[in-house]
Amino acid sequence: MTDTAPPTRHVTTARIVAVRGTELEYRADRVVGEEPLEIRAAGPGQEPVAVAITMRTPGNEDELAVGFLRTEGLIEGPEVIRVQMGNPAEMNQPDDRATVRLSRPFDASLVAERHFAATASCGICGKASLDEVAIKSAPLAAGPVVPRAVVLALPDLLRAAQRAFDETGGVHAAGLFSPSGELIAIREDVGRHNALDKLVGSQVLAKAMPLGQRILMVSGRVSFEIVQKAAVAGIPIVCAVSAPSDLAIEAADRLGVTLVGFLRGDGFNVYAHDERIDLRDLLGLG
């Protein structure tokens, strides 16, 4: 893994009043950054199409834009040529706008169909979207069978790599792992969906797709959107330190995603497709 320190504006400083018991202190504190990002797409000779505005932690804007388009099923990935940031002559923060340039025309009608309104950090929502996701998500392959010890090690491996969380305590993380537990990449963001989009975008730009032999580990809970985005990106195993929602479980079951929750200490729950977790030793078969 070659990831380094958090990007510029990823972490900022604020003056606070810190109260600890009967003691009071005025001091500076490190906090996570949050800014809007406008995501646009354009094919050859096209005017950019505004797709969404999402609140995100600054940094890795190219990955977030590409990852969002990929996990929402709006692009396949190979057609990405480059990501163009905003014009410094027009914007105080040029990295608050990202235009993904494509080698083929971008279908603007897809944006209207998906109803990406003012903000889109949560992806698509609702049971009505499950059928649409199933269409946009290729059938997941069998994928790897992962030893129980590897699954149990994932939370500590993710936490050890959370650079921005160490400074602020205020960001979510998404980590991509190999079946043997090697950390491939990690991304952090104030929005858990953005962290995953940045992670997927990093792999699209690195030409490292597909992700059928990868494990996703996320901090916090698992929502429907996390399962949706993982499935569209082809990730067969999703693990989390906290609980999944009932719709996340339904989506995982229908989309062929192995879903692991409450991954803490020496235990975890498998909510869907347990065939990818090697539990033979616990069944007396190993």
Q: Which residues pair with 260 in a beta bridge?
A: 239, 270
Query: What's the CA gap between 204 and 247, in Å, rounded?
Result: 27
User: Pick the catalytic residue: 55, 108, 122, 209?
Assistant: 122
Conformational region of residue 160, where left means phi above 0, alpha means psi within -120 to 50, and beta covers everything else: alpha
What single letter denotes the amino acid at residue 51? V
Helices (runs of H) and strands (runs of E) counted in the chain:
8, 14
Q: Which residues are CB-contacts of 119 (< 8 A; sequence separation ≥ 6)?
A: 52, 53, 54, 55
Q: Which residues are CB-contacts of 136 (< 8 A; sequence separation ≥ 6)?
A: 73, 232
How far is the CA of 7 from the CAs of 3, 40, 197, 247, in angstroms? 10, 22, 16, 34
Which residue shows structure tokens 């699209």?
A: 204
122 is catalytic: yes
Query: What's the CA gap between 223 and 118, in Å, rounded?
Result: 20
Active site residues: 122
